[in-house]
Amino acid sequence: MSFRYGRRTAWVLSEVTVDIGDGEVVVVRGRNGAGKSTLLQMMAGVLQPTRGRILDRPSRVGWVPERFPAEQPFTVSGYLAAMAALHGAGSPAPWIDRLGLAPFRTVKLAELSKGTAQKVGLAQALICRPQLLVLDEPWEGLDAAARDLVPDIVAEIVAAGGSVIVSDHRGDTARLPEATEWTVDGARVTPERAEKARTGADTPWLIEVAAGDGPAAVAALRAAGHEIIRVRA
Ligand SMILES: Nc1ncnc2c1ncn2[C@@H]1O[C@H](COP(=O)(O)OP(=O)(O)OP(=O)(O)O)[C@@H](O)[C@H]1O
């Protein structure tokens, strides 16, 4: 796919071909302005490619923008309850508690600090139980406690067979050690795995197990120090 914001503007992404598998975590790296957010918004379905298309996007996608648009006339619990109803999901209370939003239930979104608003942005994306979670620079806006929760949340989505794509321009990738890395540069996207394949390193193995044994097999392989590249149901 290719993307540009206007007919006379330069291509932000040009002839990009990437794929993200079930159970895969991708970290998108690149300098400021390289096109990371643009790529993530296309993955989330917020932007449509100017050319090309995206195939097999799951139906439940959670998108956490780099900056949650808090200029809305709702309280935290009113907004999250409405988002839950929209997605046919259960009560947002577990996410309100887990993300430390309980003291802000009755506060209007526009009155929240940037970090708290960002947590509302994270909660609204998780409420729909996303099969694909798109996190734009999650380490930037969140407070330390919420940042520390992100790897656990990512692991839970992966364990359920979902996929996660995260942009990161500061190099906080160490928080997601099993992630595949994509680099955006010069309107192109280079997946790390393609480079590894070219150098012949890290030949992956395909292991098949009975459906019900999947989560336990993944946990056992991880515990033994193996990297799981993807899980397909
Ligand atoms: N709405 C827009 N209209 C026009 N140009 C845009 C728009 N949003 C982004 N751009 C331009 O597209 C290019 C890629 O921007 P993008 O935000 O995707 O980069 P990024 O890698 O996410 O940067 P950062 O790390 O600073 O967030 C930049 O040149 C930017 O100025």
Mutation test of ligand 1: which of 7, 8, 12 has the most ligand atoms closer than 8 Å to its C-beta?
12
Residues framing ligand 1 (Cβ under 6 A): 5, 12, 30, 32-38, 66, 169
ipTM comes to 0.96
Q: What is the pLDDT of residues 171-229, one digit of tens each?
A: 766 778 789 999 999 999 999 854 444 454 556 778 888 888 888 998 888 887 787 87
Distance between CA atoms of 135 and 40, rounded to whole angstroms? Answer: 8
| pLDDT, position 198 | 44
Calculate how far, in angstroms, residue 13's C-alpha sits from the geometric centre of ligand 1: 11
Domain boundaries of the chain, sorted by first residue: 25-223
Q: How many CB atoms sit inside 10 A of residue 5's CB?
A: 12
Second-level CATH architecture of 25-223: 3-Layer(aba) Sandwich (3.40)
Q: What is the pLDDT of residues 107-152, one digit of tens each?
A: 999 999 999 999 999 999 999 999 999 999 988 888 888 888 999 9
Atom in ligand 1 nearest the alpha carbon of residue 39: 18
Distance between CA atoms of 230 and 205, rounded to whole angstroms? Answer: 11
| pLDDT, position 212 | 86
Q: Does the structure show a pLDDT above 80 at 75?
A: yes
List Cα–Cα distances, 4 to 35, 51, 100, 199, in angstroms.
10, 9, 38, 33
